[in-house]
Amino acid sequence: MAETFPRSGRWSSGYDVEQVDTFFEEARAAYESDADGGMTADDVRSAAFDLVRHGYDPAHVDAALDRLEGAFVKRARARSIRTEGQGVWMEDVAKRATTLYGRLVRPAGERFAPPERGRGYDSEAVDALLDRIVDYFDSGAELSAAEVRSATFPAASGDRAYGEGAVDAFLDRTVDVLLAVE
């Protein structure tokens, strides 16, 4: 039987093969059924798999999850527009985008709390991405969900760092908004 994804090296960790295969089988069934109430883009975004030796290569699985999330968003958008109209969809997207502004208008260096202990994301690097998000919303500058999703930040500590959890959650919400209009 052909494997769904390439495997990590024999001595490297990868995603649990059975968990990944099961998830993608369920996702395919949910997408093909086209029934309301099944799997959503949020379910895809929150998918997590155990790391095991010689599992599926995480980069390949993550890329497939990104594409799958986009497919579920496009399907949800098409359904909403078909049943409620383009205006209702765009109003919903605008409401979600508005929830991002509270952090975006804060001064650089103060947009998130520092980590409770240890290291976090370098605040200058995070602020640079948030400035790009502001430019996207305010000026129509180029920015894609893939760019936000793939952003990485150097580690920092103390008052030069932001706590990772809050930044990650904010960026997930940003990706959700960007996917909705892409």
Domain end, chosen from 84, 114, 141, is at 84
120 residue type, one letter: G
| Structural domain containing residue 7 | 1-84
Q: Exposed, middle or buried: residue 67 (CB in 10 Å: 0-12, 13-18, 19+)?
A: exposed
pLDDT band at 125 (very low <50, low <70, confident <90, very high): very high
Over the stretch 29-74, which tens digit does the pLDDT of each residue have? Answer: 988 886 666 788 889 988 999 999 999 999 999 999 989 988 888 8
Residues 102 and 123 in one domain: yes
Residues 66 and 151 in one domain: no
Residues 77 and 103 in one domain: no
Residues 157 and 99 in one domain: yes
> Which pair of tokens denotes residue 48?
């997590």
- Report the DSSP beta bridge partners of residue 78: none
Q: What stretches of the chain adopt beta strand conformation (E)? A: 13-15, 51-53, 119-122, 155-157, 161-162
28 residue type, one letter: R
Residues 67 and 109 in one domain: no
Residues 101 and 45 in one domain: no
Residues 70 and 98 in one domain: no
pTM, full prediction: 0.76
Over the stretch 88-110, which tens digit does the pLDDT of each residue have? Answer: 888 888 898 888 989 999 999 99
- Report the DSSP beta bridge partners of residue 51: 15
